[in-house]
Amino acid sequence: MRNLIFFISKYYVFFMFFGLEIFSFIIIYRFNRYQKASFVNYTTGVTSSFYSAVSNTQQYFSLRRINDSLQIENAKLRSQLFSSYYQNGLSVKNINDTLYKQQYEYVAATVVNNSVTKRNNYLTLNRGSLHGIEPQMGVISESGIVGIVLSVSPRYCTVLSLLNNNCKISAKVKKNGAFGSLVWDGENPRIARLLDVNKHVPVASNDLIITSNYSTIFPEGIPIGKIYTHTLDAGDNFHTIKVELFTDFSTVSTVYVIRNLLKPEQQTLESTLKN
């Protein structure tokens, strides 16, 4: 027993180091997996207010650019207004439409924290559960998709960026509807890879890549990017496609979170298949 105490007191620094390392690894195992990134929630409260202050200052300097992008978007929306359409019919009746039911709602949000240089990147937005944000909602910017909401606190939410090892988005080539999954290989924040496009499907440079209709997160047809390069290795069944993303993640500041109003219905139906 005395020898044991002597042994421990001699190497106590090592034991302390060892204990702290074990503690760190427990935290990594427990919180660092994709679904369990909820550790962020604990620290979000403290660090988000800090990030908000930084972001408020930074936003002041990019007001002009934000203003420009808002103006462009306003013009686009204005052109979709009912009043900007030519009325062809002689009488206009207001009908409570049962053919068209609203499926998607958009919540505007501002990016308060962002990164593009790491292998796994996350964003923080200034909207949370008070504004109706829930995990697994899609996030888009005015130019293309950004990512998927990961965890939510009352006033903030974290977003799994497209530039993340764990992010896989269902996409398709607009021209012929060939679908695949979009992933990021960690090299260039402007370039992602489209996997699983069969080799018999013809693809060409500058083909538009859009979101597919197989996901409950994004509506169909949101632009993602265009084909940058494509190669077909001998003996490979799938194209190797590099996609140039429309969203510039290093400057993204105003985004929209998408709420799919019909998602619970679809998921309830699909969950009965699994049981």
Binding site for another protein (CB under 8 A): 12-14, 16-17, 20-21, 23-28, 30-32, 37, 39-40, 43-44, 46-47, 50, 115, 117-120, 122, 124, 158, 165, 186-187
Identify which of residues 44 and 260 has a Cβ nearer to another protein in the complex. Answer: 44
Identify which of residues 9 and 87 has a Cβ nearer to another protein in the complex. Answer: 9
Which residues are paired to 140 by β-bridges? 145, 256
Q: Could you tell me the maximum CA-CA distance found in the chain, to the nearest angstrom?
A: 102
Minimum distance between the CB of residue 140 and another protein, rounded to whole angstroms? Answer: 22
| H helix intervals, the chain | 2-10, 12-31, 39-61, 63-78, 263-274
Identify which of residues 39 and 238 has a Cβ nearer to another protein in the complex. Answer: 39
Minimum distance between the CB of residue 235 and another protein, rounded to whole angstroms? Answer: 22
The torsion defined by the Cα of 202, 206, 211 and 213, in degrees rounded to 10, comes to -30
Minimum distance between the CB of residue 247 and another protein, rounded to whole angstroms? Answer: 18
- Residue for token pair 């990961």: 150
φ, ψ (nearest 5 deg) of residue 85? -100, 145
Identify which of residues 33 and 65 has a Cβ nearer to another protein in the complex. Answer: 33
Number of other CB atoms surrounding residue 84 within 10 Å: 9
Minimum distance between the CB of residue 254 and another protein, rounded to whole angstroms? Answer: 21
Ramachandran class of 196: left when φ > 0, alpha when ψ lies in -120 to 50, beta otherwise: left
Minimum distance between the CB of residue 162 and another protein, rounded to whole angstroms? Answer: 15
Identify which of residues 45 and 221 has a Cβ nearer to another protein in the complex. Answer: 45
